[in-house]
Amino acid sequence: MSSPLPSVRDPGAAASSARPPAPNVHSPPLSEIHARALYRPVPPVGLDDDGYPYSDSLPVESQSHERARAHVVDVVRARYADRADVFAASELGFYFERGNRKALVVPDAFVVFGVDANPDLSYKLWEHRRVPDFVMEVLSRHTWRKDVHDKPALYADLGVREYWLFDPFRTRRDGGAVLEGRRLAGRDWVPVAPCAAGDGFVSGVLDLDILVAEDELRLRDRETGEVVPNLAESIERNKQSNKRADEEAARADEEAARADREAARAEATGRRLAELEAQLAELQR
Protein backbone atom coordinates (compact mmCIF):
# COMPACT_ATOMS: atom_id res chain seq x y z
CA MET A 1 0.00 0.00 0.00
CA SER A 2 1.32 3.42 -0.87
CA SER A 3 2.04 6.21 1.52
CA PRO A 4 -0.02 9.42 1.51
CA LEU A 5 0.45 11.53 -1.58
CA PRO A 6 3.38 13.94 -1.14
CA SER A 7 3.45 17.42 -2.59
CA VAL A 8 5.60 17.23 -5.71
CA ARG A 9 6.40 19.41 -8.68
CA ASP A 10 8.13 16.45 -10.35
CA PRO A 11 5.44 13.76 -10.45
CA GLY A 12 8.03 11.05 -10.88
CA ALA A 13 9.55 11.93 -7.52
CA ALA A 14 6.77 10.02 -5.78
CA ALA A 15 6.64 7.12 -8.22
CA SER A 16 8.30 4.78 -5.75
CA SER A 17 5.02 4.68 -3.82
CA ALA A 18 3.32 2.92 -6.72
CA ARG A 19 5.01 -0.44 -6.28
CA PRO A 20 2.84 -3.57 -6.37
CA PRO A 21 1.11 -4.37 -3.08
CA ALA A 22 2.82 -7.03 -0.99
CA PRO A 23 0.99 -10.36 -1.19
CA ASN A 24 -0.75 -11.58 1.93
CA VAL A 25 -0.85 -15.36 2.05
CA HIS A 26 -3.55 -15.26 4.71
CA SER A 27 -6.03 -13.26 2.63
CA PRO A 28 -7.91 -14.09 -0.57
CA PRO A 29 -6.44 -12.58 -3.73
CA LEU A 30 -7.63 -9.12 -4.70
CA SER A 31 -9.44 -10.59 -7.69
CA GLU A 32 -11.72 -12.46 -5.27
CA ILE A 33 -12.14 -9.61 -2.81
CA HIS A 34 -13.01 -7.17 -5.59
CA ALA A 35 -14.64 -9.51 -8.09
CA ARG A 36 -17.40 -6.98 -8.85
CA ALA A 37 -14.80 -4.47 -10.06
CA LEU A 38 -13.27 -6.73 -12.69
CA TYR A 39 -13.72 -6.39 -16.42
CA ARG A 40 -15.25 -9.29 -18.31
CA PRO A 41 -14.24 -9.31 -22.00
CA VAL A 42 -17.08 -9.56 -24.50
CA PRO A 43 -16.56 -12.43 -26.99
CA PRO A 44 -15.04 -12.86 -29.43
CA VAL A 45 -11.73 -11.87 -27.85
CA GLY A 46 -8.16 -11.63 -29.05
CA LEU A 47 -5.52 -13.51 -27.04
CA ASP A 48 -1.82 -12.78 -26.68
CA ASP A 49 0.87 -15.47 -26.82
CA ASP A 50 0.29 -16.30 -23.13
CA GLY A 51 -3.47 -16.61 -23.52
CA TYR A 52 -4.42 -13.28 -21.92
CA PRO A 53 -7.28 -11.43 -23.65
CA TYR A 54 -6.22 -8.08 -25.08
CA SER A 55 -9.20 -7.13 -27.25
CA ASP A 56 -12.90 -7.88 -27.30
CA SER A 57 -16.11 -6.89 -29.07
CA LEU A 58 -17.40 -4.18 -26.74
CA PRO A 59 -18.03 -1.03 -28.82
CA VAL A 60 -16.82 2.42 -27.83
CA GLU A 61 -19.29 4.05 -25.43
CA SER A 62 -19.36 7.44 -27.20
CA GLN A 63 -17.21 10.04 -28.89
CA SER A 64 -17.20 11.98 -25.61
CA HIS A 65 -15.58 8.99 -23.92
CA GLU A 66 -13.02 8.69 -26.68
CA ARG A 67 -12.16 12.40 -26.64
CA ALA A 68 -11.78 12.55 -22.85
CA ARG A 69 -9.50 9.57 -22.41
CA ALA A 70 -7.48 10.33 -25.55
CA HIS A 71 -7.00 13.93 -24.38
CA VAL A 72 -5.57 12.84 -21.03
CA VAL A 73 -3.16 10.41 -22.66
CA ASP A 74 -2.10 12.83 -25.41
CA VAL A 75 -1.42 15.65 -22.93
CA VAL A 76 0.61 13.42 -20.60
CA ARG A 77 2.66 11.98 -23.46
CA ALA A 78 3.42 15.46 -24.79
CA ARG A 79 4.18 16.92 -21.36
CA TYR A 80 6.60 14.15 -20.44
CA ALA A 81 7.95 13.43 -23.92
CA ASP A 82 11.52 13.86 -22.66
CA ARG A 83 11.10 11.14 -20.03
CA ALA A 84 11.40 7.49 -20.97
CA ASP A 85 9.98 6.33 -17.62
CA VAL A 86 6.44 7.67 -18.09
CA PHE A 87 3.78 5.45 -19.66
CA ALA A 88 0.24 6.59 -20.49
CA ALA A 89 -2.50 4.54 -22.13
CA SER A 90 -6.23 4.42 -22.69
CA GLU A 91 -8.43 1.35 -22.94
CA LEU A 92 -5.48 -0.95 -22.24
CA GLY A 93 -6.06 -4.04 -20.14
CA PHE A 94 -4.32 -4.03 -16.73
CA TYR A 95 -3.67 -7.52 -15.32
CA PHE A 96 -2.65 -7.51 -11.66
CA GLU A 97 -2.36 -11.23 -10.79
CA ARG A 98 -0.01 -13.49 -12.68
CA GLY A 99 -1.68 -16.60 -14.06
CA ASN A 100 -5.19 -15.24 -13.44
CA ARG A 101 -6.72 -14.09 -16.72
CA LYS A 102 -9.78 -12.81 -14.85
CA ALA A 103 -7.78 -10.36 -12.70
CA LEU A 104 -8.37 -7.63 -15.26
CA VAL A 105 -9.47 -4.02 -15.27
CA VAL A 106 -9.49 -1.72 -18.30
CA PRO A 107 -9.19 1.91 -17.15
CA ASP A 108 -10.33 4.56 -19.58
CA ALA A 109 -6.96 6.23 -19.01
CA PHE A 110 -4.02 5.50 -16.74
CA VAL A 111 -0.50 6.83 -16.20
CA VAL A 112 2.53 5.12 -14.68
CA PHE A 113 5.69 6.91 -13.56
CA GLY A 114 9.05 5.25 -13.06
CA VAL A 115 8.44 2.39 -15.47
CA ASP A 116 10.59 1.35 -18.42
CA ALA A 117 7.82 -0.09 -20.54
CA ASN A 118 5.75 0.48 -23.61
CA PRO A 119 3.36 -2.47 -23.73
CA ASP A 120 1.14 -2.71 -26.76
CA LEU A 121 -1.43 -5.41 -25.96
CA SER A 122 -1.86 -5.20 -22.17
CA TYR A 123 -0.13 -3.98 -19.02
CA LYS A 124 0.90 -6.86 -16.73
CA LEU A 125 1.89 -5.94 -13.21
CA TRP A 126 4.32 -8.85 -12.75
CA GLU A 127 6.25 -7.79 -15.86
CA HIS A 128 6.50 -4.05 -15.22
CA ARG A 129 6.43 -4.02 -11.40
CA ARG A 130 4.65 -0.68 -11.21
CA VAL A 131 1.04 0.03 -10.30
CA PRO A 132 -0.59 2.92 -12.21
CA ASP A 133 -0.16 6.20 -10.35
CA PHE A 134 -3.16 7.86 -12.01
CA VAL A 135 -6.42 6.30 -13.18
CA MET A 136 -9.41 8.00 -14.78
CA GLU A 137 -12.75 6.41 -15.58
CA VAL A 138 -15.28 8.07 -17.89
CA LEU A 139 -18.73 7.10 -16.67
CA SER A 140 -21.59 5.74 -18.72
CA ARG A 141 -25.03 4.43 -17.84
CA HIS A 142 -23.61 0.90 -18.12
CA THR A 143 -20.49 1.40 -15.99
CA TRP A 144 -21.07 4.19 -13.50
CA ARG A 145 -22.02 1.97 -10.55
CA LYS A 146 -18.93 -0.19 -10.96
CA ASP A 147 -16.70 2.87 -11.47
CA VAL A 148 -18.16 4.70 -8.46
CA HIS A 149 -18.80 1.88 -5.99
CA ASP A 150 -16.65 -1.15 -6.89
CA LYS A 151 -13.40 0.01 -8.42
CA PRO A 152 -12.25 2.53 -5.78
CA ALA A 153 -11.55 -0.19 -3.20
CA LEU A 154 -9.63 -2.30 -5.71
CA TYR A 155 -7.54 0.63 -6.86
CA ALA A 156 -6.85 1.59 -3.24
CA ASP A 157 -5.69 -1.93 -2.39
CA LEU A 158 -3.48 -1.94 -5.47
CA GLY A 159 -1.92 1.38 -4.43
CA VAL A 160 -3.14 3.68 -7.20
CA ARG A 161 -2.30 7.21 -6.01
CA GLU A 162 -5.08 9.16 -7.74
CA TYR A 163 -8.48 8.06 -8.99
CA TRP A 164 -10.63 10.36 -11.12
CA LEU A 165 -14.23 10.10 -12.33
CA PHE A 166 -15.63 12.10 -15.24
CA ASP A 167 -19.35 11.91 -15.96
CA PRO A 168 -19.96 13.74 -19.27
CA PHE A 169 -23.59 12.61 -19.59
CA ARG A 170 -24.57 13.04 -15.91
CA THR A 171 -25.36 9.35 -15.63
CA ARG A 172 -24.73 9.11 -11.87
CA ARG A 173 -27.80 8.58 -9.72
CA ASP A 174 -26.04 9.10 -6.41
CA GLY A 175 -25.74 12.88 -6.57
CA GLY A 176 -22.08 12.76 -7.51
CA ALA A 177 -20.31 15.56 -9.34
CA VAL A 178 -19.51 15.67 -13.04
CA LEU A 179 -15.80 15.62 -12.16
CA GLU A 180 -14.39 14.04 -9.04
CA GLY A 181 -10.80 13.41 -8.03
CA ARG A 182 -9.52 11.36 -5.11
CA ARG A 183 -6.03 10.76 -3.77
CA LEU A 184 -4.88 7.89 -1.62
CA ALA A 185 -4.01 8.78 1.97
CA GLY A 186 -2.92 5.70 3.83
CA ARG A 187 -5.66 3.21 3.00
CA ASP A 188 -8.40 5.74 2.33
CA TRP A 189 -9.45 7.96 -0.52
CA VAL A 190 -9.69 11.68 0.22
CA PRO A 191 -10.83 14.46 -2.16
CA VAL A 192 -8.14 16.20 -4.18
CA ALA A 193 -7.69 19.91 -3.61
CA PRO A 194 -9.50 22.50 -5.74
CA CYS A 195 -7.27 24.52 -8.03
CA ALA A 196 -6.45 28.16 -7.32
CA ALA A 197 -8.92 29.44 -9.91
CA GLY A 198 -11.73 27.48 -8.26
CA ASP A 199 -12.95 26.01 -11.54
CA GLY A 200 -11.36 22.58 -11.25
CA PHE A 201 -9.09 20.38 -9.19
CA VAL A 202 -5.38 19.74 -8.80
CA SER A 203 -3.79 16.50 -9.92
CA GLY A 204 -0.63 16.30 -7.87
CA VAL A 205 0.39 13.19 -9.76
CA LEU A 206 0.20 14.81 -13.20
CA ASP A 207 1.10 18.31 -11.94
CA LEU A 208 -1.88 19.66 -13.89
CA ASP A 209 -5.27 21.19 -13.13
CA ILE A 210 -8.21 19.10 -14.35
CA LEU A 211 -11.51 20.82 -15.08
CA VAL A 212 -14.63 20.68 -17.22
CA ALA A 213 -15.37 23.47 -19.70
CA GLU A 214 -18.39 23.35 -22.01
CA ASP A 215 -18.93 19.71 -21.04
CA GLU A 216 -15.42 18.76 -22.19
CA LEU A 217 -12.62 17.48 -19.97
CA ARG A 218 -9.70 19.93 -20.00
CA LEU A 219 -6.21 19.95 -18.51
CA ARG A 220 -4.38 23.14 -17.56
CA ASP A 221 -0.74 23.93 -16.93
CA ARG A 222 -0.45 24.95 -13.29
CA GLU A 223 2.51 27.26 -13.85
CA THR A 224 1.33 29.17 -16.93
CA GLY A 225 -2.41 28.93 -16.30
CA GLU A 226 -2.91 27.98 -19.94
CA VAL A 227 -5.43 25.31 -20.87
CA VAL A 228 -3.73 22.60 -22.91
CA PRO A 229 -5.35 22.49 -26.37
CA ASN A 230 -7.37 19.44 -27.27
CA LEU A 231 -7.04 17.62 -30.58
CA ALA A 232 -9.52 19.81 -32.47
CA GLU A 233 -7.88 22.98 -31.14
CA SER A 234 -4.42 21.68 -31.98
CA ILE A 235 -5.53 20.92 -35.53
CA GLU A 236 -7.05 24.40 -35.86
CA ARG A 237 -3.92 26.02 -34.42
CA ASN A 238 -1.73 24.09 -36.85
CA LYS A 239 -4.04 25.09 -39.69
CA GLN A 240 -3.85 28.76 -38.72
CA SER A 241 -0.09 28.51 -38.24
CA ASN A 242 0.32 26.95 -41.68
CA LYS A 243 -1.95 29.63 -43.15
CA ARG A 244 0.15 32.39 -41.59
CA ALA A 245 3.32 30.71 -42.83
CA ASP A 246 1.87 30.48 -46.35
CA GLU A 247 0.81 34.14 -46.23
CA GLU A 248 4.26 35.19 -45.01
CA ALA A 249 5.89 33.11 -47.74
CA ALA A 250 3.60 34.72 -50.33
CA ARG A 251 4.49 38.19 -49.04
CA ALA A 252 8.18 37.31 -49.15
CA ASP A 253 7.80 36.07 -52.73
CA GLU A 254 5.99 39.29 -53.67
CA GLU A 255 8.71 41.39 -52.04
CA ALA A 256 11.36 39.43 -53.91
CA ALA A 257 9.48 39.85 -57.20
CA ARG A 258 9.08 43.58 -56.54
CA ALA A 259 12.79 43.88 -55.81
CA ASP A 260 13.58 42.02 -59.03
CA ARG A 261 11.31 44.38 -61.00
CA GLU A 262 12.91 47.43 -59.43
CA ALA A 263 16.37 46.07 -60.16
CA ALA A 264 15.37 45.40 -63.76
CA ARG A 265 14.00 48.93 -64.11
CA ALA A 266 17.15 50.40 -62.62
CA GLU A 267 19.29 48.35 -64.98
CA ALA A 268 17.19 49.45 -67.98
CA THR A 269 17.40 53.08 -66.85
CA GLY A 270 21.15 52.78 -66.52
CA ARG A 271 21.49 51.35 -70.00
CA ARG A 272 19.29 54.12 -71.45
CA LEU A 273 21.35 56.82 -69.72
CA ALA A 274 24.52 55.26 -71.08
CA GLU A 275 23.05 55.30 -74.57
CA LEU A 276 22.02 58.96 -74.27
CA GLU A 277 25.44 59.93 -72.98
CA ALA A 278 27.03 58.14 -75.92
CA GLN A 279 24.73 59.92 -78.37
CA LEU A 280 25.46 63.30 -76.77
CA ALA A 281 29.18 62.68 -76.96
CA GLU A 282 28.84 61.78 -80.64
CA LEU A 283 26.97 65.02 -81.38
CA GLN A 284 29.61 67.12 -79.62
CA ARG A 285 32.47 65.90 -81.82
pLDDT at 21: 65
132 against 58, higher pLDDT: 132
pLDDT at 244: 60
Q: What is the per-residue pLDDT across 92-145, written as a single tens digit (0 to 9) for each?
A: 999 999 999 999 999 999 999 999 878 889 999 999 999 999 999 999 988 999
Query: Per mean pLDDT, which range of 56-60, 174-178, 197-201, 239-243 is the poorest?
Result: 239-243
pLDDT at 8: 38
* Cα–Cα distance for residue pair 151/35, rounded to 1 Å: 10
Q: What is the per-residue pLDDT across 150-161, written as a single tens digit (0 to 9) for each?
A: 999 999 999 999
Q: What is the per-residue pLDDT across 160-213, written as a single tens digit (0 to 9) for each?
A: 999 999 999 999 989 899 999 999 999 999 999 999 889 999 999 999 999 999
CB distance 185 to 157 below 8 Å: no
pLDDT at 2: 38
CB distance 69 to 109 below 8 Å: yes
Top mean pLDDT of 19-33, 166-180, 262-276 is at: 166-180
Domain regions of the chain by residue span:
11-228, 229-285
Strand partners, 210: 201, 219
262 against 230, higher pLDDT: 262
pLDDT at 6: 34
pLDDT at 30: 97
pLDDT at 4: 35
pLDDT at 243: 52
Amino acid present at 22: A
Indicate the SS3 state at residue 12. Answer: helix
Query: Per mean pLDDT, which range of 7-11, 73-77, 95-99 is the poorest?
Result: 7-11
pLDDT at 282: 77
CB distance 190 to 161 below 8 Å: no
Q: Tell me if the domain spanning 11-228 has CATH number 3.90.1570.
A: yes
Strand partners, 104: 95
pLDDT over 50 at 234, yes or no: yes
pLDDT at 275: 78
pLDDT over 60 at 63, yes or no: yes
Indicate the SS3 state at residue 94. Answer: strand
Q: Which residues of 252-261 are buried (b: 16+ CB within 10 A; e: fewer)?
A: eeeeeeeeee
Q: What is the mean pLDDT of residues 4-25?
A: 51
The alpha helices in 53-143, defined as continuous H runs, are 63-79, 125-128
pLDDT tier at 253, thresholds 50, 70, 90: low
pLDDT tier at 1, thresholds 50, 70, 90: very low
CB distance 125 to 94 below 8 Å: yes
pLDDT at 19: 66
pLDDT over 80 at 11, yes or no: no
Mean pLDDT in the chain? 85
pLDDT at 23: 58
